[in-house]
């Protein structure tokens, strides 16, 4: 279904797009980043915080990252300082790239079992589906952020996967 090359490509895409959106968000002031714009997590900042929270939670299951302390309902406010959020995002993206470089075909086999705090029950799903969910979740919420940034007057760059620069960190 998926391969280590898929994970490496998506980790590169993720880092590229995070730099794109965080760069566009940097052109706004704090009030504009924090303004409730009607998205599920309200603001640009809170949506970016939630994405990082989700990445951290899933990667605690796949690569031993420390899971986030906040429950999902508080994930949008789990990192309140803009500078800290940017630093944590860069660190997470580097860790995704490292994980992608280390993942082996055997790591993609079988099921993943975990307790879902969101659903309040034990879950078992194919590992590949859960890995695809990481990247799908990022893309879903980054689309919301892109729309909020555009509405706020910021100008994010291209987002299409085929346009990822060839020299993007590999």
- Domain-wise residue ranges, the chain: 4-156
pLDDT at 1: 83
Class in CATH terms, 4-156: mainly alpha
139-144 average pLDDT score = 96
| pLDDT exceeds cutoff 70 at 170 | no
Q: Count the neighbouring beta carbons within 10 Å of the beta carbon of residue 63.
A: 15
111: which residues sit within 8 A by CB, 6+ positions away? Answer: 124, 125, 126, 127
Whole-model pTM: value is: 0.95
| pLDDT exceeds cutoff 60 at 89 | yes
């Amino acid at each position: 279904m998926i391969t280590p090359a898929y994970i490496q490509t998506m980790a590169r895409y993720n880092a590229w797009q995070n730099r794109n959106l965080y760069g566009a968000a940097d052109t706004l002031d704090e009030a504009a980043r924090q303004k409730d714009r009607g998205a599920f997590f309200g603001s640009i900042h809170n949506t970016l915080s939630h994405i990082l929270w989700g990445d951290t939670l899933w990667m605690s299951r796949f690569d031993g990252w420390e899971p986030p302390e906040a429950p999902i309902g508080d994930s949008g406010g789990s990192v309140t300082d803009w500078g800290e959020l940017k630093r944590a995002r860069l660190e997470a993206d580097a860790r995704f790239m490292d994980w992608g470089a280390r993942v082996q075909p055997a790591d993609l086999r079988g099921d993943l079992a975990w307790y879902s705090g969101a659903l309040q029950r034990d879950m078992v799903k194919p590992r590949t589906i859960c890995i695809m969910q990481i990247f799908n979740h990022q893309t879903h919420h980054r689309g919301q952020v892109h729309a909020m940034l555009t509405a706020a007057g910021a100008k994010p760059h291209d987002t299409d996967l085929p346009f990822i620069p060839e020299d993007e960190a590999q």
